[in-house]
Amino acid sequence: MNTVITAIMLPFLAAVLISLLYKRLPRTRIGWFVLFVPVSLFIILARYIPAIAKGETYSYSIDWIPSYGIRFSTYLDGLSMIFALLITGVGSLVILYSIYYLSARESLHHFYIYLLLFMGAMLGVVFSDHLFVLYAFWELTSISSFLLIAFWYHRKNSRYGAQKSLLITVSGGIAMLVGFIMLFVMAESASIRELIATFPSLSNESLFLPAMILILLGAFTKSAQFPFHIWLPDAMEAPTPVSAYLHSATMVKAGIYLIARFTPIFGGDAIWFWLISGVGIFTLFWGSLNAVRQIDLKALLAFSTVSQLGLIVSLFGLGSVALSFGSSTESVIYTQATFAALFHLVNHSTFKGALFMVVGIIDHELGTRDIRKLGGLMALMPITFTIAMIGSFSMAGLPPFNGFLSKELFFAATLNIQQVDLFSLATWGWLFPVIAWIASVFTFVYCMIIVFKTFFGAYHPEKLEHHAKEAPIGMLISPIILACFVIGIFLFPNVLGDSLLRPAMTSVFPSIAQVSEQLPSISIWHGFNGPLYMTIGVIAMGVLLFRILRRWQPVYRLLPPEWSLNALYNLALVQAEERSEKITRSYMTGNLRDYALYVYLFFFITIGGGLYLTGAFSFDMSNNAQIRIYEWILVFVMMIAGVAILFAKSRLTATLLNGVLGYSIAIFFVLFRAPDLALTQLVVETVTTALFLLCFRFLPEWKKETYKRKTKVFHAIIAIATGTLVTLLALSVQSNKMFESISVYFENAYELAGGNNIVNTILGDFRAFDTMLEIVVLFIAGLGVFTLIKLKAGKEEQNIENK
Amino acid sequence: METLITILVGILVAAATYLILSRNLIRVILGTSLLSHAAHLLIMTMGGLKNGNVPLLGAGAPFVDALPQALILTAIVISFGVTALLLVLVYRSHQEAEKDDVAQVREVDDE
């Protein structure tokens, strides 16, 4: 079964080919070349529909990183089939539409490369069986979506929208990765199929809940659920084919795919149920509420997408309750919710795709999407109007369109859920049908706004850039095909249901035997029952609200704009930047003294703290050598000289005191029987002192320290503490001799190196590497001094200018 | 003897620390110079100051430890190189910026 691998790889291959071919290909032909890819994939995949409908599944895997057990494994079953057909099918139509939509002046090859990347990544997401491969494709969809949103990168809003969507979806993606790792740790397997088959219940594991929440974060951010929906309206800055494809039909459904895929693992848990159903139903309500206030058609559609996605997500939540009943006839009733979710998923892709394309046509032909400027287009654009009406009425849930059927199923599911006496649904279950009904009323209202505000009323040619005329046929083909699906699915819902949705039900509920056979088929007319009365109520209330829209729309202005989620997001970004800048500025002062203080502070904490905590301090004088009287004198001279430097009034005194220290050390070297050291120290100290004096000739006399008295005391405390700590540390080390010195070995200097001076043989033979590099240090220092004095780049430049 | 030298090292380190925290660049360099003196003394002391003969084979055993001496010799030369470079750096920066104060030198950089 290499077909699936081919399906994933073909778009990537085509993307590479475009980048190679775009200069030779005539600009108008690129789109046709691209169109070939999804169409052929759609046909290849469609050939598997009969086999999938019989319940067969296909898997195939190749090793990717075998040492980490990461396999590029793919899995084709009912669920991935639905998504793959949507991706390739809607993808074909969108590419066909884009050929006519985008002008040849755009950088078309970029557009199609990004689009193909996205298509391949999306197919990878739905076909992957391995958690980490799934994650890799998941992020690739985020990135390609980012590139597509910012396609017109010279616009500020495009860049803002792209950045926002990337930030939100990638944060969710990373949360999801952490969740995946937790799953992997719990089950010691990264294959989703193995997870489902061999670990029916992970709910006793301590990581179960965090893993669930983190994976849901990924799904919610991607599928624009509340409160992460804010990126979707801003992503509308993308070209309309992108909005139609990514932000209505495919990418936003990746999160839904994830929820459906992981339902067998997490489903049946109360938190899973409430999180998904609760967030979903609230998103449904919130999205529909906000869609009504929009004046930009694309923003309206964006909020309607948010709302419809919420509907689908909540249906998956309602369906997951069936998993807690196990294999019984009772559970089959609740699985209908999931069936409705899958059904609406397909329906939403058809009508939302068509609606976006319609808006694109209006934008393309008239130069605006503002509903305040539009009106009276019905007679001028009859075909566009028909498609818009079919799409909107389907979205509103009216017969004879497919949205009606899925909305009826949705209402039936919300009514059914009240009968469950699990998860405290007996007390709170009534909320579901109520919120669903209110949200549907708003859905009805904004659907009417699309149709009536755009196509009815008076025509205002003076507000438009171009005179209204029907779009070219090429642009109309795709929405017409989608509109045909909208009606076709209504007329023959069971063709879709039996061939695609039922096999997918087995994927979502593997533990409930024969779930796909027990489901009743969808009927267009299901008699007078609860859902139908609810729909009639929606229509009545919706018509009323639409009539008096002007009177209640000002309600939206009651809430100040600073209270919106967008304002919160922007505030968070600004604050994060300002705060981090403030924090960094507070300690990166650029002042040498402060950095030195940090070093000392670190020294106190690690060394002092370590000495204190481990109790390592010890003091032992028994091994000390005897002190003779002239040694006492020398030590006191050095102590006094060291302290006196601090109080020296002139730099000359300070330098001479430094010299006193150096020569005293040389004398110590004599006393401690180190003739070579004594010689070197004498010479070096002389030269250093000379250097100091030489520099002074060119420097001003040093001023008194300008620090305040308080600062000086603070510095003194730091200095004394450092000195004390060094002393304590050294004393502790001296008192704990761990082993004998290795220097006895060097006493074989004559036998091994042929020299009598042990120190010199160490420097020249035993450890000659040190000496070589020390010479290099001296050499570099010499070069540095020379360069510093000789080269005066700044001044030479000035000279050139003056010439 | 070792204890006495160690206390001396502590005093030298304290003085060096105080100098390094000051504003004047020459003081800072004096501080580093002082710190290297302290370090050399400390290495010497850590090797043990037991009485023994000069580490020349003709002098006859026992010898004092020769390894710290070799280490200090290397360290002296390196610290000399660094001090020389730092001094010339101060000289140059004064020549270019007419400043020898840490904070003022920084302001010049910002321009």
pLDDT for the residue A516: 65
- Write the pLDDT tens digit of every residue in A348-378: 999 999 999 999 988 888 888 888 888 788 8
- Mean pLDDT (whole number) for A144-153: 92
Question: What is the average pLDDT value for chain B, to the nearest integer?
Answer: 84
Out of A48-62, A150-164, A330-344, A786-800, give the one with best mean pLDDT.
Answer: A150-164
For A721-766, give the secondary structure using H, E and C: HHHHHHHHHHHHHHHCCCCCCCCCHHHHHHHHHCCCEHHHHHHHHH
pLDDT for the residue B110: 42
Record: contact B24-A596, CB cut-off 8 A = no
- The complex's ipTM works out to 0.92
A584 touches chain B (CB under 8 A): no
For residue A682, pLDDT over 90 is answered with: yes
Of A784, A595, A656, A599, nearest to B82 by C-alpha is A784
pLDDT for the residue A801: 47
- Mean pLDDT (whole number) for A607-619: 84
- Write the pLDDT tens digit of every residue in A280-304: 999 999 999 888 888 888 999 999 9
Least trusted range by pLDDT, from A170-179, A471-480, A523-532: A523-532
pLDDT for the residue A370: 85
Contact of A686 with A658, CB cutoff 8 Å: no
- Write the pLDDT tens digit of every residue in A781-795: 999 999 988 877 655
CA triplet B2, B3, B8: central angle to 5 degrees?
95
CA triplet A583, A589, A594: central angle to 5 degrees?
110
For residue B109, pLDDT over 50 is answered with: no
Helix (H) or strand (E) holding A352: helix A329-366
Of A231, A221, A230, A215, nearest to A179 by C-alpha is A215
- Of all residues in chain B, the percent with pLDDT exceeding 70 is 86
For residue A163, pLDDT over 90 is answered with: yes
Residue whose structure tokens are 């302001």: B107
- pLDDT grade, residue A600 (50/70/90)? very high
- pLDDT grade, residue A575 (50/70/90)? very high
B72 touches chain A (CB under 8 A): yes
In chain A, which residues have their Cβ closer than 8 Å to the Cβ of B6?
727, 730-731, 734
For residue A602, pLDDT over 60 is answered with: yes
CA triplet A52, A57, A60: central angle to 5 degrees?
135
Dist. CA A22–CA A30, nearest whole Å: 7
Contact of A433 with A280, CB cutoff 8 Å: no
Question: What is the average pLDDT value for chain A, to the nearest integer?
Answer: 86
**Across the interface, which of B26, B55, B94 has its CB nearest the CB of A651?**
B26
- Mean pLDDT (whole number) for A581-600: 89
The larger pLDDT score, comparing residue A775 to residue A566, is at A775
**Global pTM value:** 0.82
Rama region for A375: left / alpha / beta (φ>0; ψ in -120 to 50; rest): left
Dist. CA A519–CA A274, nearest whole Å: 24
The larger pLDDT score, comparing residue B2 to residue A762, is at A762
pLDDT for the residue A472: 83
Q: Which of residues 19-48 of B touch A (CB under 8 A)?
A: 19-24, 26-28, 30, 33-34, 37-38, 40-42, 44-48
For residue A28, pLDDT over 80 is answered with: no
For residue A533, pLDDT over 50 is answered with: yes
For residue A144, pLDDT over 80 is answered with: yes
- Of all residues in chain A, the percent with pLDDT exceeding 70 is 94
In chain B, which residues have their Cβ closer than 8 Å to the Cβ of A634?
none
Dist. CA A383–CA A190, nearest whole Å: 50
Of A196, A193, A141, A148, nearest to A172 by C-alpha is A141
Instruction: Collect all residues with Cβ–Cβ distance below 8 Å to A404 and sequence separation of at least 6.
Output: A394, A397, A398, A490, A535
Residue whose structure tokens are 């050095």: A638
Least trusted range by pLDDT, from A307-311, A381-385, A492-496, A513-517: A513-517
Least trusted range by pLDDT, from A337-341, A598-602, A614-618: A614-618
Helix (H) or strand (E) holding B76: helix B67-97
Question: The tokens of B28 are what?
Answer: 């800072």
Record: contact A778-B57, CB cut-off 8 A = no
pLDDT for the residue B61: 74
pLDDT for the residue A91: 92
Helices (H), A47-155: 49-53, 78-101, 108-127, 131-149
Q: What is the DSSP letter of A705?
A: P
- pLDDT grade, residue A492 (50/70/90)? confident
For residue A324, pLDDT over 80 is answered with: no
For residue A155, pLDDT over 50 is answered with: yes
- pLDDT grade, residue A526 (50/70/90)? low
Record: contact B14-A723, CB cut-off 8 A = yes
pLDDT for the residue A313: 92
